[in-house]
């Protein structure tokens, strides 16, 4: 019978779980910046908005398979364990990204915050139309916290190769006007909130 070493496993397990969680966050890209909130029990989360509406979100599982070569000649190397954990982290991160995109699509469809491009290519006008519909936060010095843009790699390549047009210049001016208006609205709203509080 092979030895089990339960004390060593109890010491190493939290370290490896911490490594797994950090690698999942890394592979999530900018989604990894979303704050995590542990949910000790239950099968869904409930969001109650200021207007009284509720949003019940069922929990979903992200999982992966881990395999480590333990051939008698090669033994079990620490590098092989870390590589296997990173492989699992990539699998879990991909599943989590897919869940997040599904949820974002569902919520934006329900709230009507969707712009149908009708098969038009991505343009500055479409981006500004989207910006018009978004709530934008600002730092104390007035800098906007603009959203991230997630596109298919083919679209990203076209955007990088895009040459500025006259329409782009017009839309840049429009974007500046949208942000200025939203900045003014944001600070007015913040002032009212502070007066009430």
- According to the model, what pLDDT value does residue 178 have? 95
Average pLDDT, 10 consecutive residues per value, the chain (197 residues):
77 91 94 85 79 82 81 74 92 95 87 80 88 90 90 86 89 95 91 71
- According to the model, what pLDDT value does residue 181 have? 95
Q: Which pTM does this prediction carry?
A: 0.72
Angle at 190 between CA 185 and CA 196, to 5 degrees: 130
- According to the model, what pLDDT value does residue 119 have? 82
User: In this structure, are 34 and 70 located in the same domain?
Assistant: yes
Task: Give the end of a domain, one of 77, 111, 145.
Answer: 111
Task: Give the end of a domain, one of 62, 84, 111.
Answer: 111
**Residue 160, domain extent:** 124-196
Task: Give the end of a domain, one of 56, 83, 111.
Answer: 111
Q: Which residues pair with 46 in a beta bridge?
A: 56
Q: Which of 60, 143, 54 is nearest to 98 (CA)?
A: 60
User: In this structure, are 24 and 66 located in the same domain?
Assistant: yes
């Amino acid at each position: 019978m092979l030895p089990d070493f339960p004390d060593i496993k109890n010491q190493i397990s939290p370290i490896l779980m911490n490594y797994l969680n950090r690698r999942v966050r890394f592979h999530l890209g900018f989604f990894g910046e979303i704050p995590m909130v542990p949910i000790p029990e239950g099968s869904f989360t409930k969001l109650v908005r200021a207007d009284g509406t509720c949003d019940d979100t069922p929990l979903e599982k992200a999982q992966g398979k881990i395999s480590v070569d333990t051939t008698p000649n090669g033994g079990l190397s620490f590098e092989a364990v870390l590589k296997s954990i990173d492989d699992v982290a990539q699998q879990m991160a991909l599943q989590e990204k897919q869940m997040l995109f599904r949820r974002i699509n569902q919520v934006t469809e329900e709230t009507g915050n969707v712009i149908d491009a009708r098969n038009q290519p991505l343009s500055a006008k479409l981006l500004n139309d989207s910006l018009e519909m978004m709530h934008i936060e600002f730092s104390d010095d007035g800098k906007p916290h603009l959203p991230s843009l997630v596109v298919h790699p083919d679209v990203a390549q076209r955007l990088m190769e895009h040459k500025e047009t006259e329409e782009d210049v017009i839309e840049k001016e429009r974007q500046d006007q949208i942000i200025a208006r939203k900045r003014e609205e944001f600070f007015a709203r913040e002032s009212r909130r502070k007066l009430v509080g």
